[in-house]
Amino acid sequence: MSHRLFIAIRPPEPVIDAMIDVMDGIENARWQDEAQLHLTLRYVGEVDTPTANDIADALGRIRFAPFDLTYRGVGHFERSHWPSAVWAGVVPSPGLDTLAKKVERACVSAGCAPETRRFTPHVTLARLNRSSGPVGDWMARHGDFACAPVRVDHFTLYESTLSHSGSHYDPVVRFSLA
Task: Give me the active site residues, please.
Answer: 38, 122
Q: Please check whether residue 111 is in contact with residue 60, taking contact to mean a CB–CB distance below 8 angstroms.
A: no
Strand-pairing partners, residue 151, are 68
Task: Supply the pLDDT for residue 85.
Answer: 96
**How confident is the prediction for the chain on average, in pLDDT?**
95
The confidence band for 31, taking pLDDT boundaries of 50, 70 and 90, is very high
The CA R_g of the chain, rounded to the nearest whole Å, is 16
Task: Supply the pLDDT for residue 141.
Answer: 97
DSSP 65-84: --EEE-EEEEEEEEETTEEE
Residue 98 and residue 102: Cα distance in Å, rounded?
A: 6
Task: Supply the pLDDT for residue 80.
Answer: 87
Task: Supply the pLDDT for residue 164.
Answer: 79
Residue 154 and residue 89: Cα distance in Å, rounded?
A: 19
Q: pLDDT by residue (tens digit) across 59-104?
A: 999 999 999 999 999 999 999 888 999 999 999 999 999 999 999 9
pLDDT at 166 over 80: no
Task: Supply the pLDDT for residue 25.
Answer: 95
Q: pLDDT by residue (tens digit) across 35-51?
A: 999 999 999 999 999 99
DSSP 36-63: G--EEEEEEEEEEHHHHHHHHHHHHT--
Task: Supply the pLDDT for residue 175.
Answer: 97
Residue 44 and residue 90: Cα distance in Å, rounded?
A: 21
6-19 mean pLDDT: 98
pLDDT at 140 over 90: yes
Residue 22 and residue 32: Cα distance in Å, rounded?
A: 12
List domains and CATH numbers for the chain: 2-176 (3.90.1140.10)
